Amino acid sequence: MMDWLWYTSYFLVLIGLSGYGFHRLMILTLYLKHSRNQPEPLRKFDELPLVTVQLPCFNEMHVMERLLDSVSAMDYPKDKLQIQVLDDSTDETTAICKAEVAKLIDRGFDAMHVHRTDRTGYKAGALENGTESAKGEYLFILDADFVPNADVLKKTIHYFTDEKIGMIQTRWEHINRTFNALTRVQAMFLDGHLELEQTARNRSGRFFTFNGTAGIWRKSCIADAGGWEHDTLTEDMDLSYRAQLKGWKFIFLNNVTTPAELPVDMEGFKSQQHRWTKGSIQVCKKILLDIWKSKAPIFCKMEATAHLTSNFAYLLLFLLCFLIYPKQHSEIGWLAENGISEHLLNFPIFFFGSVSVAMFYIMSQKALRPGTWLKDILYLPLLLALGIGMSVNNAKAVMEALFNHETSFVRTPKHGINGSEKQEKAAFKKSRYKAIKSLTPFVELAFGIFFTVVVVDNVLNANYVAAVLLLPFPAGFFYTSISSLAQQLPSVFASRATEKVSKK
């Protein structure tokens, strides 16, 4: 009876993971079918409209000067540009912002510094507050770690000649892609999402979402959709679905890029992923029923469901970690007698969990980096391992969202990294901004040890195929745990040393 219980649970988890793997292949198919259908503006504005550039920030002392320099260098008439620094900072960032805004005003820019001491709504609250005084009908939103290209507004603004267009999203590029192995893998993750997913969804007529930055909104679209709301951690996704349910159209321009800085440390990456994962499940709970009640085509509803529930895959992956080992030692009726249980149960996780992922990211690198994609995909094994290793962190986020556990909006530390390798590493070491520490790495370390035992056990029992398929599990958990602990332990030792010195 216990064997049947374990195998049934194992099978159900595999079916769920296989479903999300199949969805990834569907996205790839849609991309291949529609990627060449580049959108074109209906016409060009006779006179360029006024654009408000909104720069929400919180404790971003390392990157504000770079951000404002790049914004002021954009190729757009000064008299058609308003710059809002929406500052919720509690450190030196506020003084830096004031000084930089003063310089912009002296240079003839219409710039303003809006400082809040009450962080109600976090980023959504700052944007909501800034929109009240925004002069432009079009709002270009940039996070502090972005460095917009000079021609970004002129390449995008004319699409708004179509009165049905509510938002235009540009594709992110990565200024510190080669900083370390983690940034290389993150770049591949984001390339897959932005190039394949966003392009496929948008060009095939499905819902797609604003990525929180590097996009331009029509102000009347925001108002019509109900404005910025801050009951989820992903206000961008929430507003996007509400606007599209109101009938507004969005455009994704994969050929227009906006460079940005990637998190360079594991704890910063985990913090970002936790926020995105939890926020997407919160939006799922909030908006999915409205999507199914809407008049949208069934294929749009199905894709939105897969999109909004996709992070449940981390919860399934986490559950799989508890089901794998008992499965290895169970025998069940005719399946075991005919010697096909191992192949029948392992093939779906291998194909849909690994092969589909590999195909997905190979295609994105080949599309975006034709000259170096063969070199880039050498990081695929690490990408697969990292996806598994993040299951503890992201499953925790899913559970928090499901049980309405409230947490604050935790910013991702940015360090102003964009110089030479030597300068970059020096900038990171000097940075005072560090991610919040947690006990998650110790749980990941325990899983790493556990799966090492499982792999060794399979080798000793001559289950070599299973051992190979399971190798990404210990590799992923050791990578995420040791990378985090390497950050945490030096600071612990340093604080203890400081205490000893102070006592002396």
Q: Which residues are catalytic?
A: 88, 236
**Cβ atoms within 10 Å, residue 296:** 19
**In terms of Cα–Cα distance, which of 134, 136, 127, 115 is closest to 48?**
136
Q: In whole angstroms, how far apart are CA 117 and each of 44, 63, 125, 432, 503?
A: 41, 21, 12, 21, 36
The span from the CA of 133 to the CA of 273, in Å, is 32
Contact 312, 280 (CB under 8 A): no
Contact 81, 111 (CB under 8 A): no
The span from the CA of 97 to the CA of 120, in Å, is 20
**In terms of Cα–Cα distance, which of 149, 165, 158, 176 is closest to 62?**
176
Pair of tokens at residue 141: 């939103």
Pair of tokens at residue 448: 């790493």
The DSSP code for 194 is I
Contact 214, 170 (CB under 8 A): yes
The pairing of strands 165-174 and 249-260 is: parallel
Task: Give 210-275 as a 3 state SS string.
Answer: CCCCCEEEEHHHHHHCCCCCCCCCCHHHHHHHHHHHCCCEEEEEEEEEEEECCCCCHHHHHHHHHH
Q: In whole angstroms, how far apart are CA 269 and each of 29, 187, 396, 436, 479?
A: 29, 12, 15, 11, 13
The DSSP code for 146 is B
